[in-house]
Structure 1
Amino acid sequence: MEEKESKNKSVEKSINQTGKMKQVIKEYSILTLASIILIVGVYVFKFPNNFSFGGVTGISVILGKALPFSASTFTFIINIALLLIGFIFLGKGFGIKTVYVSLLTSFGFSFCDHFFPMTKPLTNQPVLELIFAIVLPAVSAAMLFNVDASGGGTDIIAMILKKYTQVNIGTALFLVDSLITAIAFFMFGPETGLFSVCGLLAKSLVIDTVIENINLCKYFTIVCDDAAPICNFIHTQLHRSATIFRAEGSYVHSEKTIILTVMKRRQAVLLRNYVKKQQPGAFIMITNSSEIIGKGFRGLN
């Protein structure tokens, strides 16, 4: 009996380790992809146009104009310096994911600078390039935030401020980004300066929108006569769960069952079609939600 229990525990431990390994591989695949998107957005569209709307790359664009080194070189130097400062003030465990992304992007910029040097913008359409300079890094940032990581750079400064001061981090970083953008007016002229202002204003909005779309789920409230087949479909076909409770119709006082469930968008289409086909008299309310915390969605720390 003890030998059987020991064997079951060993199998369970092995399954848990396999699950954790798959999760780590998935997370670092996302980190790598997000870093590549960031490198493309910044190196191809931001650096050649001198767009300076905050962060380490914004500082690097300005320094690259003022000093005889490329923006990629300054990005590498500043990121490495900030990592060292992070280790000093936050300790060795201040964020392995942040370290990974910061190193990957820093070496990525240096690699591109060496093998794919860009001496001028990709196109002669600055508005089009500004859109990509905003959207690609924003998508990257949203992907990183979604796995509890960041791109390093000024995020490290934010972590230090949070630990040692009572400063409003969001306000402090926005003021720094605004200062960098203001300098762009004097360094590159009003046209580039105004483009940089547009980038600064749009950056946070795009990041928030992308994060919401990544996490978007559908919240169902289904009022029906027979909940059993619907719940069975949710359990067996969609591999989700649901909550049910009894209710009474206010008009004819008939007994009803209300089903509450949440699922991803692809699953939501399947459930909606199933309910409409199997119980056309059911009343379905579908609501968008980007913040679902619980088993099967996002954990609550």
Structure 2
Amino acid sequence: MFRRLIEIVTIIVMSALIGFAFNMFLLPQEILSGGVSGIAMILGLRTPFNTGIIIFLLNIPILLLGYFRLGKRFIAYSLLSVGVTSISMQWIPVRGISDDPILSSIFGGVIVGIATGLIFRSGASTGGFDIIGMVVNQKKEFPLGGLIFGMNAIVVFISGFIFDWDRALYTMISIFASGKLIDSVHTRHVKLTLMIISNKGDAIKKKLLANFVRGITVIDAEGAYTSEKRNVLFTVITRYELEDVKRVIRETDPRAFVNITQTVDVMGYFRRN
């Protein structure tokens, strides 16, 4: 229950921060965010309608798609995120903090990227291309920020034709910064291989199998110096699971030796969700 509360608070605060970045850094310089938010910004700048309301309306069909593919709780959280962003953009004035479009695009992109990454980590999305990216990511894992960046290229071309190509390049800087920060915060695509050496291998194996849906391979080994019989356990986990796995190992055998390496790719069955 406490964890669920932390997730909801994080989503609300970060979604409001996205609205702040839009109204204080990007919109005053006519710099766009990516995806559906970028399209909404174009409509907001060219029509009398509030950008926040347009973001909410454009996200409705995409949220319905996500409802069938990503689950009820995920979509409920995402709807909360889109709603808070929309409301915050109506309350926060569109007033540029900086007159420099490069600084505005970088700082706006960084703030949006950090906030979006933390929203992803809380089990939600900011709607739009984020949901489409996550649906694609279920089938074939890519760094999510890079995947969203690729889909957002269309927004850059649209902004170039509607505004000017300088603004389009500033938009590209903003989207690139967001994508990099998303991948730095949202690390579910990163896989780690653990080699655990312990004389309590059976106890560690049982604890890991009870707490994580991960396969484990156990090999009998012998210490070269002590000639003691030990177990070597191999398993592959996501970056998200690392701290919990380390905690379980410490509780079971504080003297266990653990080698952690980043995995380039995984073939065969690997639970992605």
Q: So what's the TM-score if we normalise by structure 1?
A: 0.59
Number of the residue aligned with 2:221: 247
Residues 245, 258 of structure 1: 8 Å contact kept: yes
Shift of 1:149: 1.4
Unaligned segments of structure 1, at least 5 residues: 1-20, 163-169, 292-298
Q: Give the one of 180, 185, 199 matched to 1:205.
A: 180
Q: Secondary structure at the match of 1:212?
A: coil
Could you tell me which of 66, 81, 94 is aligned with 1:118? Answer: 94
Q: Does 1:106 align with 2:83?
A: no
Distance change in 2, residues 1:207/1:285 (3 Å): same
Determine if the alignment matches structure 1 residue 257 to structure 2 residue 236: no
Identity of aligned residues (%): 25
Alignment of 1:43-54 (within 5 A): 43-54=23-34
> 1:66 maps to which residue?
46
Q: 2:264 & 2:79 partners in 1: Cα distance?
A: 28
CA distance in 1, matches of 2:87, 2:170: 27
User: 1:11-36: CA deviations, max 9, x gaps?
Assistant: xxxxxxxxxx3232122122113212
Aligned to 1:153: 128
Aligned mates of 2:264, 2:23 — CA distance in 1:
31
* Distance 1:193-1:205 versus aligned 2 partners, 3 A rule: same
CA contact (8 A) 2:36 2:55 kept: yes
> What residue number does 1:5 align with?
none
User: Within the alignment, does 1:143 sit opposite 2:122 as a pair?
Assistant: no
Q: Does the CA-based 8 Å contact 2:109-2:176 persist in structure 1?
A: no
Q: Partner residue of 2:141?
A: none
Counterpart of 1:83 in structure 2 is 60
List alignment gaps of at least 5 residues for structure 2: 138-143, 235-240, 266-270
Q: Is the 8 A contact 1:41 1:136 kept in 2?
A: yes
Partner residue in 2 for 1:181: 156
Considering only aligned residues, what root-mean-square deviation do their CA atoms show, in Å?
A: 4.8
Shift in CA distance, 136/246, structure 1 to aligned 2, threshold 3 Å: same
1:107 Cα deviation from its structure 2 partner: 0.8
Q: Distance in 2 between matches of 1:36 and 1:140?
A: 9
| Alpha-carbon distance in structure 1 between the residues aligned to 2:166 and 2:30 | 11
| C-alpha spacing 1:88/1:209, structure 2 compared with 1 (3 Å) | closer
Structure with bigger gyration radius? 1
Q: Assess, with a 3 A threshold, how the Cα gap between structure 1 residues 260 and 132 changes in structure 2: closer, same or farther.
A: farther
The SS at the match of 2:230 is: strand
C-alpha contact (below 8 Å) 1:222/1:283 kept by paired residues: yes
Pairing partner for 1:35 from 11, 15, 25: 15
* 3-state SS of paired residue (1:48): helix
Residue 110 of structure 1 deviates from its aligned partner by: 0.7
Structure-2 separation of matches of 1:161 and 1:221: 33
Count, aligned residues: 239
Aligned residue for 1:192, secondary structure, equals: helix
